[in-house]
Each structure stands twice: as C-alpha cells, then as structure tokens.
Amino acid sequence: MALLVHVRNRLEAQGIKSEFVGASEQVQGIVHLYEGDVHLPPPKRRKPESALAQIGRATVNVLIEAQLVFAFFGQMLISAIATVRAPRSANWREVLPTMERTGADAVPIVILINFLIGFVMAFQGAVQLKQFGANIFVADLVGLSVTRELGPLMTAIIVCGRSGAAFAAELGSMKVSEEIDALRTMGFGAMPYLVLPRALALILVMPLLTLLADLVGLLGGLVVGLTTLDLSVAGYITETRKALTVWDVYSGVIKSGVFALAIALIACQQGLATTGGAEGVGRRTTASVVTILFSLILLDAGFTILFHAFNL
C-alpha cells in the first residue's frame, strides 16, 4: 500500500489524476491509514528573490553579526577585569607559545611582503619624480606611506590570514567536538582560558611586527633609490629623518594594537559561534577572515579621519 500511495503521489505531481476505487471496507481502511485518499496540493513555484530583498537580508545579517561581536567584546572586558582580580584563573602558559606562533613564525612573510611593498612604492614614485628632478623625495614618499599606513595595515592583513584564520578554526573545531563544553564542566571558562591568552599574545607581538615592517619597507625604498635614482645611503637616510617624525611611527604602532585586538576578537567570536561539523568550521573560518579584513579597512579609515581632525 505504501508503494501504491507513493506511485499515486508521483502521478499527481506529474499532473495525472488517479484514484483507488472498488476497494473493500478493510482495504479502504488501509488506504486511509496510508493517506491514499488525501490529494496533494499543487506544488508552489518558488519565486526568485529580488535583488532588493537580497541586499536587505545581507544588511540585516551584517548588523546581527556586528551586534554579536560587540556583545563578545563586552564579555571579554568583563572577563579581563575578573582575571586581573584573580590572575590564576587565566591560562598564562598559553601566551608565550601563541606569541611564538603568531609573531616569530610570521617574521619571514612580514619581511618579504613589506620589503616588496616599499620596493614597489619607491619604483612607482621614481617614474614620476625623475621627470621633475626630485629623486630625493622618494624617501619622503616611502617613509610616510609605510610608517603611517602600509606597514601596520599590511602586517595586520598578514596576521589576519595566518593567525586570525587559525584562531577561528581551532576554536571552531573545539566547539563542534564539544571540547569547550568539557572545559566548562571542569570549571575552565572559555573566555579566560582560550580567548584572553590569544588576544594578549596578539596585542604584544603586533607592534613589534609593525616596527619590523616599517624598517624593512624603508630598506625596500632604499634599494630603489640606490639602484635607480642614483641616491646615496647617507642622503636617503637624511631625507627620511627630515620627513618622518616620532608620531608617524607611533601612529602606526597605535593602529597595530587596535588591529590586533580586532583580529583576536572577531576570530575568537566566530570560532566559538561555530555550529555543525567540518562544514560549519569552514564557514566560520571564511566569515572570520572576511569580517576581519572589512574591519581593518574600516578602522584604518577611522584612524585617518581622527588624526586628520586633530592635525596629527
């Protein structure tokens, strides 16, 4: 009877009407039991979602994610205050290994990327500066752009791709395998035991990586000045010292600290919000990287407007 009802439903779905007729009372009871006398409603055609509805739904999702991130930030602040009052509740042993993974292991790629950034900036500027005989000002161009913008921003993007994705994937895997629940059962909170050590390690290493990136970026510009613009080492360094101030370097370091907090905050929040299995971990890892990159650009624009407003 189940097979017959299934065949009848398939026929009705194709527009062919069929009925069970001439059945005895006992057989008719079985037909009713299997809902063989119930006609399926006509299938509804799914209307495609309009572009405006898609934009609205995406906007609502972004606002919800932003709300969750801010709520997570508040929880992290409360946990940090509680940890200051009771330092033994935090997992301080995890700070140094995390600093090694996020800082020392990232040095080669930070050096390579920022050297090439300084090299390319100087090379592009040299083409225009040669026309006006202003070769020496390539030091100003590279120095200001690297220390104020490109150094901290490119370093943050590198750390986002390395450490931010790793944090989200680690915590997401722990969440779906119920390791987070096991830690809570044993009395270890996820915030002081997992989130705070990662955030502290990243905040400590990011300014150091940024200073290294500034130095390497200036060396990239120096290489172009020596090989293409006929500048001397002493002349390039002297012009760089004239163009740069202490605040130019400090502003980049301040940005890097805020960038580090944003990377750790969003990555850990996305990791702890993971649901499902391996697919959920992949989705949250991707979402964390995309959200962090958007946040970095937004924060950098905010710092630029703030520094410009106070003539810094």
Distance CA 3, CA 34 (A): 10
Identify the band that residue 41 occupies on the pLDDT scale cut at 50, 70 and 90. Answer: low
Tokens 């495609």 appear where?
A: 48
Q: Per-residue pLDDT averaged across 146-158, rounded?
A: 93
Q: What is the pLDDT of residue 6?
A: 81
**pLDDT for 230-259, tens place per residue?**
888 998 999 999 989 999 999 999 999 999
Residue 218 and residue 240 in contact, taking contact as beta carbons nearer than 8 Å = yes
Cα(104)–Cα(19) distance, rounded to whole angstroms?
75
Q: Quick one: pLDDT band at residue 40, thresholds 50, 70, 90? A: low
Contact of 126 with 228, CB cutoff 8 Å: yes
Answer whether residue 227 shows pLDDT above 70: yes
Is residue 19 very low, low, confident or very high in pLDDT (cuts 50, 70, 90)?
confident
- How many H-runs (helices) and E-runs (strands) does the chain carry? 14, 0
* Lowest mean pLDDT, pick from 26-40, 110-124, 197-211, 268-282: 26-40
> Measured on CA atoms in the order 61, 64, 70, 75, is the torsion positive or negative?
negative
Q: How far out from the chain centre does Cα 105 lie?
A: 19
pLDDT at residue 297, rounded to an integer: 93
Average pLDDT in the chain:
88
Contact partners, residue 134, CB within 8 Å, separation at least 6: none
The confidence score (pLDDT) of residue 34 equals 73
- In the chain, the percentage of residues whose pLDDT exceeds 70 is 97
Structural domain boundaries of the chain?
A: 2-33, 72-309
Q: What is the dihedral of CA 199, 305, 145, 216, to 10 degrees?
A: -10
- Does 39 have pLDDT greater than 70? no
Distance CA 7, CA 195 (A): 56
State pTM to two decimals: 0.81
